[in-house]
Amino acid sequence: MAMVETSDGAQLYVKEAGQGRPLILIHGWPLNADSWDDQILALSNAGMRVIAYDRRGFGRSSQPPGGYDYDRFADDLAEVMAARGVESDASLVGFSMGGGEVARYLSRHGPDKLRSVALISSVVPYMLKTADNPDGVEQSVFDEMTAGMKNDRPDFFRSFLKDFFGVGMLNSPVSDAYLDWAWGLCMQAGLIPTLQAAKAFATTDFRPDLSAFTLPTLVIHGTGDNTVPIEATGRAVADAVPTATLREYEGSPHGLFATDGGKLTSDLLTFLKT
């Protein structure tokens, strides 16, 4: 592992595995890079140089007082790539909130170092329901999330993760032990970063960034995703980006890296090697 210091002084935890063409995995909220571990193992064994890092404020990275917006997040990504010597032929894979880093990186830093990108259960292009985004999520939902985190963050994430992984009375795609592990990752993040990052993914409009998607783009999204509904996100990207290919996982929830891990890894490998 390594620590990368950003231009504004934040310390970002980075881990790598494998040798070959570089692949940067960007985790979702409110987890950290360890959520990618199954994919890191499989993709590195398949001949990729896999790099994953904890977003500022999360996991083992530092918790600075600010910088929890997508311009800064995209700059963090660019600085991680530079620090690890990624100069060309790279691919970016953003899960959930991490899709925003991919979009903003493309519009802010350009595609020159990249070969392809992938959006997994991503918040792109716009999560919030507005008059011109009728399929988005009501502001009241985000308000309730904020209130829940401020009132009892540990309990809030117990319930949140059940929806995240599609756990119900009759269906449990992941074990209780896995839920406990994921909860532990959530609790490594600071409260201020958790709240500020949630505000960022809920309110940032990435529709102006879509024109920067000129590279081959894979979009994977579960049709049963209640955390980031597919209509306003995955399908909207596929409709707006000519280079995008959409793969819908019928009935699958948000946390595809766990609930559909083998299928996700296989689809990523097929795409990355094309």
Positions marked active-site: 96, 225, 254
CA distance 70 to 72: 5
Alpha-helix residue ranges (DSSP H) falling in 84-138: 98-109
- Spatial CA neighbour of 133 closest among 80, 65, 193, 202: 202
Strand order in the sheet with 90-95: 2-5, 11-17, 48-53, 21-26, 90-95, 114-120, 217-222, 244-249
Question: Residue 263: enclosing H or E segment and its boundaries?
Answer: helix 261-272
Q: Tell me whether strands 217-222 and 114-120 are parallel, antiparallel or unpaired.
A: parallel
CB 107 within 8 Å of CB 209: yes
